[in-house]
A and B are shown apart, each in its own frame.
Chain A
Amino acid sequence: MAINWFKYSAPSTFYGLAGKLIPWFALSAAIMFAVGLYIGFVVAPMDAQQGEFYRIVFIHVASSILSMFLYLIMAGYAALGLIFNTRLSSMMATAIAPTGALFAFISLWTGALWGKPMWGAWWVWDARLTSELILLFLYLGFIALHASIDDPRRADRASALLAIVGSVNVPIIYFSVKWWNTLHQGSTIKFSGTSMHVAMQQAMFVTLVACWLYAIAVVLARVRSIILERERHTKWIAELPEVK
Chain B
Amino acid sequence: MKKSSMLGLLVLVIRRDLVLAMRRRADMLTTLIFFVMVVSLFPLGVGPEMDMLRKMAAGVLWVAALLSSMLSLGRLFSADYLDGTLEQMMLAPQSLSVLVLGKMVAHWMVSGLPLVLMAPVLGLQFDMSAQALGVLIAGLLLGTPVLSMVGAIGAALTLGLRGGGVLLSLLVLPLCIPVLIFGTGAVEASTAGLGVASHLSLLGALLVLALAFTPWVTAQALRISME
* Residue ranges of A at the interface with B (Cβ–Cβ < 8 Å): 134, 137-138, 140-141, 144-145, 148-149, 153-154, 157-158, 161-162, 165-166, 169, 172-173, 175-177, 179-180, 183
Contact = CB atoms under 8 A, between A and B. Distances in A.
Nearest to A151: B227
A144 to B, nearest CB: 6
Shortest Cβ-Cβ A-B pairs, 9 listed: A176-B178, A137-B174, A157-B224, A141-B171, A180-B181, A176-B181, A158-B157, A172-B178, A141-B170
Contact of A161 (B188, B206, B220): B220
B177 A148 contact: no
14 contacts: A137-B170, A137-B173, A140-B170, A141-B174, A145-B158, A145-B171, A158-B221, A162-B157, A162-B171, A165-B153, A165-B175, A173-B175, A176-B178, A177-B181
A161 B221 contact: yes
B161 interface: yes
Interface of B: 153, 157-158, 161-163, 167, 170-171, 173-175, 177-178, 181-182, 185, 188-189, 202, 206, 217, 220-221, 224-225, 227
* A interface SS class: helix
A177 B189 CA distance: 16
Contacts of A180: 181, 185
B170 A134 contact: no
Contacts of B221: 158, 161
Given A158-B221, A173-B174, A176-B178, 14 more contacts: A134-B177, A141-B170, A144-B171, A148-B162, A149-B161, A154-B227, A166-B174, A169-B175, A173-B175, A173-B177, A176-B182, A177-B181, A180-B185, A183-B188
Contacts of B182: 176
A15 B167 CA distance: 32
Nearest to B202: A176
Contacts of A145: 157-158, 167, 171
Interface centre among B163, B171, B220 (most CB of A within 10 A): B171
B181 A179 contact: yes
Nearest to A169: B175
A161 B153 CA distance: 9
A179 B183 CA distance: 13
Contacts of B153: 161-162, 165
A169 B185 CA distance: 19
B163 A148 contact: yes
A183 B185 contact: yes
Contact of B174 (A134, A157, A183): A134
A165 B154 CA distance: 10
Nearest to A142: B171
Contacts of A176: 177-178, 181-182, 202
Given A148-B161, A161-B221, A166 B175 contact: yes
B167 A148 contact: yes
A143 B181 CA distance: 26
A12 B106 CA distance: 49
A145 B162 CA distance: 11
A158 B175 CA distance: 16
Given A154-B224, A158-B221, A161-B220, A173 B185 contact: no
A154 B174 CA distance: 22
A161 B217 contact: yes
Nearest to B175: A169
Contact of A158 (B177, B189, B225): B225
Contacts of B173: 137
Chain A CB count within 10 A is highest, among B158, B175, B220, B227, for B175
- The interface centre, meaning the residue of B177, B185, B206 with most chain A CB atoms within 10 A of its CB, is B177
A85 to B, nearest CB: 12
A145 B182 CA distance: 28
B177 A177 contact: yes
A237 B173 CA distance: 41
Nearest to A157: B224
A25 B153 CA distance: 38
Nearest to B214: A165
